[in-house]
Amino acid sequence: MIRLIAEAYLALDGALKALTFKPGWEAEFDVSMTGFWHSFLAIIPASLCLAIIYVGAAHAGSPPPLGALITIFAVSWVLFPGAAAIVSVVLGVKDRFVPWVILHNWTVIWLWMFLAGMSLLRTSGLAGQDLYEFVMFLYIYLRFLVHWRVAYVSLGVPTITSALGAAVPLVMSYIAQVLVYQALVPASAG
């Protein structure tokens, strides 16, 4: 258990180094199949962040439907590896699939922590609703930038190619989110 915690710490540190353009981030990751499966343990801290976000939204009076939220969360952890596999094959970098998924899984924790932090600021009253909405608007761009950076450094393909590669899982994620909400959230009367 301690070994897994140490691996998670190193992976989160490596992900932050990759995002901030610091050298040596590759050494922080186990890019074997064991490391691939261990990277899905990132679901645990992401789930804690999701709980904080849900409680914050409920406190603000706008809780999303819990069933839809959990379904979207689960689908996103399955959808990305599938989309990444397709992109890796199309781009001809199948050997970079595992490092891409590993780096992605640990990097999205930073995105989840950002969202949880904003939720805490709104819940505590330190950030008003207008600021929160503005930051969430900017988050859309931040999310794409992070996914592009992860694709760029892990796939080793040119900038535009990695941007297109990063866009595929994001677009699939948005489509899945819309489909889940349509299926699980009742339409409002009116």
pLDDT for the residue numbered 170: 93
- Distance in angstroms (rounded) separating the CA atoms of residues 37 and 20: 25
CA distances from 181 to 47, 56, 97, 125, 170 (A): 19, 20, 29, 29, 17
Query: Closest by alpha carbon to 152, among 142, 163, 141?
Result: 163
- Distance in angstroms (rounded) separating the CA atoms of residues 136 and 95: 35
- Distance in angstroms (rounded) separating the CA atoms of residues 140 and 131: 15
CB 18 within 8 A of CB 149: yes
In the chain, DSSP finds a helix count (H) and a strand count (E) of: 7, 0
- pLDDT 10s per residue in the chain (190 long)? 788 888 889 999 999 999 998 988 889 998 999 999 999 999 999 999 999 999 988 888 878 888 888 999 999 999 999 999 999 999 999 999 999 999 999 999 999 999 999 999 999 989 888 998 999 999 999 999 999 999 999 999 999 999 999 999 999 999 998 998 888 877 654 4
pLDDT for the residue numbered 188: 59
Query: Closest by alpha carbon to 15, among 159, 125, 149?
Result: 149
- Distance in angstroms (rounded) separating the CA atoms of residues 157 and 3: 33
pLDDT for the residue numbered 187: 67
pLDDT for the residue numbered 190: 47
Residue with tokens 């080793």: 156
Please give the model's pTM, rounded to 2 decimal places: 0.90
